[in-house]
Amino acid sequence: MSVPKTYISGLGIISSLGNGLTATARALQENRCGISPLQLFPLQQPPLPAAAAIDLAESSLPRTHALALTAAKEATHECTEAPQAVIIGTTTGGVLTTEHHLTAGLTDPQAYQYHGLTTVAEAVAEQCGCTGKAFTVSTACSSGAVALALALQMLQSGEVRSVLAGGADSLSYLTYFGFHSLQLVDPEGCRPLDRHRCGMSVGEGGALLLLTADRPENPFAELLAAGLSCDAHHAAAPHPEGKGAQQAMVTALHSASLQPEEIDYINLHGTGTPDNDLAEAKAVRNVFQNPPPLSSIKGAAGHTLAAAGAIEAVTAAILIKDNFLPANRGLQETDPELQLQPLLKTQQQKVSSVLSNSFGFGGNNGCLLIGRTDHYPAPELTQKKNDGLTILGTSCITGAGLTEASMDRLLHNSKVAGQLPLDEISAILPAKNIRRLKRFSRMGLALAHEAHRDSNSNEAPDNIFLGTGWGALSETHDFLQKLRETDEQFPSPLDFVGSVHNSAAGQIAILFAATGCNITSSGGDYSFEQALCTAESMLTDDSPAAFVVGVDEGHPHFSPLFDPSINTTDSLCDGGGGFSLTRKKIAGKVRVRPLFFQRSFAADSCTVKADAYDLILAGIPAADKKKGEKQLAQLRQKTGKSTPVLLYRELTGEFASASAIAAVMAVHLLENNVHHSLQQKRILLLGLGRCVCATEFSIQ
C-alpha cells in the first residue's frame, strides 16, 4: 500500500522580491535583490539593511496578518471549496502593532486583540471559509516548513483532503533589534556562504501552499516528504557538526524513498551567519557525496523568519514549473572551508526535485522535498498508527503547588488558582539548566521533568509537542522595555533568544537530549489541544515516547492587555500540565484521543455523545462565557443531559493553558477513581468558545 500523494494546487507569495508568483519568478530569474536600508518604521540610528515586503496593500489588521492574507488570496483564487484546515507558521503575530501601541501608552485591551499568534491563522481561515482546524506553528525560523510538514502528515493519514499551509512574519522592533543585539546582522547586506559573511538581513513576507490529496487539473508540483529534527544543543546556535540538519535531510529522503543523487537542487537555509552556514555545509556534505547545484536565496529576499520555509517551498515549485535554478545572491568569494560551490548565476535546466532546508532557534530543523508532478512514485506505507495515545506520566503546576498538591485540591473540587513562586518551580530542576531562564521556560522544563519522573521510565521521550497561548511574556516585555529605556542601544540578547514561543520546548530538548520532532503550537485558549492533536498526527506506532506540554505564564503588565479573559481586578494565574506518552497501547494505562476540533460549532454535526462519559470537564474562557454556555447547552440537549459537568476554570483560574491542568485531572480521576463512581471509565474534556474541541480520556 502506498502513501497518498500530496499535490500543490495553489501558491501565494509576497516578499521583498515582489507580490505574487509572476513578480517573484521574474526577480529570481533576473537575480535581483530586495534588501535595502530599513524604512518601514522610524529608528534612532542609521538603518541597517533589511528586506521589507513590497506592494503590500493597506490593511486595518497588523502587518503579519496582511502578509498572510495576501498570500492566501493568491493561493486560493481558483478554489471552489474551502480548505478543510489552515496551518500557519509565525513568530511575530501582531507584535509590530503591539509595539506601536505600547510606545503610545495605550492600555485598552481591545487595541491588542490581534497580538496573539493564533489570530493570524484565524484571519486566514475566516477569509477562505475554513471551519475546521486553524492551527498555528511557532518553531522560530523553521515555522513555515514545520507547518507544511504537519499539513503533509494530516493529508497522508487521511485526516483531511485539503490544507492551506505556510508561514508569515513581519518586520518588527523585536526582530530587527533582536538579531542586531546578537551581532548577527551584516551591515553590508546578507552574503550567504561568502568567505567574508558576517550575518543576515532580517526580512518579512508570507507564502502559503494549497495542498490537496485529490489531483487537481494542473498541479504546480508535489510535496513529496518532510523531515523534522531537533539539535538539542543550544538555544540559538546550531550544532557545530550540523547533526540535526543532517538528520532532517536523511529523514526527508528516506520518507520519499529517494537517494541523494536523485535530487536536482538544494535550497540552502543559508542565512549568511558564519556558524549556521558552516554547520549546514557539513550536514550537506555528509548526506551528499557529490552535492547537486545549490544556493541560498536569502541574499536576495532576506531572512523572512517564520515565512522562510514556506517562501522557499513556493520558490521550489516555481523552479520546477519554470525550469531554472536561482543564483546565490551576495556571494563574491566562496568560503573554501565550506567545501561547496554555490551557483553564482541563474542557471536554466530542467528541475524535477528540490530539497529545501529551514532551521531555527531552539535547534528546530525542517527539511522539505518538492517534486515534479507524477515524476516519482508514491513510497510504500510502512508506519502504522494505533487510535489514540497512551499516557505514561503526568505533571502539573498551579497556584497550589506541583502535581501532588494540585491534584489533592482539584480532586476535591477546591480552587488552585494563583501563581506558584518561581523558587518552588526551580527547586526541582538542575541549576545549570535554568540559570538564565525566566518563568515560562522554567515552568515548561519543570512540567517535562516531573512527567518523565512520573512515568518511571529509564528512557527519556525523544519528541516534544508544546502548546502555549502567549509564550515567553517576561522576556518579550523586558526586551522591549530595555529597548525603549536605552534609546534602542542595549536590549538584552538573552531576552530576545528567550522571547520565541518555542523557547521552552528547546530547553526541554536540551535537558533530555531529545533530537526528534519538536513542535510548538500557539492557539490561544486551545493551544494545549492543538499540541495534542499535533502529537496525534505526527507520532506512529514506532515513534519514541513524547512529551506533550501545555504552559503559560501570567505577566502583570502583558496578560491583562493580551488575554481578554483576564480581569485586571483578579489575581494573576498561570501554570500548565505535562504528559509523557506513547502511541503504543499498554494495559491499565489511560488513553487520550482527540475527537474533533472546529472553528465553528454546529451541534447537529457533532457525533460526540455526552451521556457516554462519566464526567465532562468543560473549559469556557471568561471572554466567551455567553457563547460557551450556549454551545454547552446545545451539546447536552442533543446528546443527553445526565452527565455531570465541571467548569474547570472556576478552579484553575483564567489563563490559556488551563485545559492542560484539566487533562491531568482527568487522568488522575481515571487512575484513582476516587469516588468509585466512574462506570463508563471515560471522561470528556471540552474546550468551548471561539473554537470547540473535544478530547476523550479512557481506561480499560
At position 657, the amino acid (one-letter code) is S
Confidence at 641, pLDDT banded by 50, 70, 90: low
Kindly name the residue from 33, 128, 130, 141 that is annotated as catalytic.
141
Average pLDDT over residues 426-430: 94
pLDDT > 90: percent of the chain: 89
Confidence at 605, pLDDT banded by 50, 70, 90: low
Architecture of domain 392-698: 3-Layer(aba) Sandwich (3.40)
Nearest CA among 694, 565, 555 for reference residue 621: 565
CA distance 20 to 243: 35
Domain 7-371 classified CATH 3.30.70.2860? no
Sequence spans of domains, the chain: 7-371, 392-698
Kindly name the residue from 65, 303, 449, 477 that is annotated as catalytic.
303
Cα-only R_g, the chain: 24
Burial profile 104-140: b = 16 or more Cβ within 10 angstroms, e = fewer? eeeeebebbebbbbbbbbbbbbebbebbbbbbbbbbb
The two domains 7-371 and 392-698 share their CATH topology (first three levels equal): yes
Answer yes or no: 141 catalytic.
yes
Answer yes or no: 557 catalytic.
no
Average pLDDT over residues 601-625: 83
Confidence at 636, pLDDT banded by 50, 70, 90: confident
Whole-model pTM over 0.85 = yes
Locate all alpha helices (DSSP H) within 599-677, ordered by sequence. 625-639, 649-652, 658-672
Q: What are the tens digits of pLDDT across the range 228-240?
A: 999 999 998 899 9
Kindly name the residue from 180, 233, 239, 269 that is annotated as catalytic.
269
Q: What are the tens digits of pLDDT across the range 473-526?
A: 999 999 999 999 999 999 999 999 999 999 999 999 999 999 999 999 999 999
Q: What are the tens digits of pLDDT across the range 10-50?
A: 999 999 999 999 999 999 999 999 999 999 999 999 999 99
Distance, first Cα to last Cα, the chain: 32
Are 623 and 564 a contacting pair, CB within 8 Å? yes
